Amino acid sequence: MVVIPPRENADEWPGAAPDPGVKAELDRLTHTFLGAFTNTGGTLPNVDVIRDVFIPEGRIISNVGPEPVLYDLDGFIAPRRKILTDGTLTEFSEWEVAERTEIFGGVAHRFSEYHKKGFLHGAWFEGAGHKSTQFVRTPAGWRMCSMAWDDV
């Protein structure tokens, strides 16, 4: 058994600053995911791009209600495609306003704050929340493997 002594400053992680190219790729994946739901100005949402940014076995978890709701990719995409194209949710967009990304070899984590707005059933709304996203490096490049969110 290997025993690792505690750090003098537990708030600091070991290692050099992350590769800016990796950080830029994780930024791109995050912004692509968030942009998949945009239907402002008559644009159509591109929810199928979620399959491009996630590994096929990815999981997305809503922790908004009394119990977490777990989705596979198809289970997440289908209801969102419906409400974003049938008039239920219009002029919708969400965007990241703050983030902290940590990269360690072939795994990474991003904690994000986001805002969202649009018309739900014809009534204007604005909201915010937090997402925790995990990434893995694959032979095809970096991909999301899991995401959990909670709205405030």
pLDDT tens readout for residues 89-124: 999 999 999 999 999 999 999 999 999 999 999 999
Question: How many alpha carbons fall within 13 Å on the CB side of residue 110?
Answer: 27
* Residues 73 and 60: beta-carbon distance below 8 Å: yes
Condensed to tens digits (0 to 9), the pLDDT of residues 33-64 reads 999 999 999 999 999 999 999 999 999 999 99
DSSP H helices in 36-72: 50-53
What are the chain's domains?
20-151 (3.10.450.50)
- With residue 74 as reference, give the H or E element that holds it: helix 73-85
The length of the chain is 152
Number of H helices and E strands in the chain, helices first, is: 3, 6
Q: What is the pLDDT of residue 111?
A: 98
Percent of the chain with pLDDT over 70: 88
* pTM of the predicted protein model: 0.88
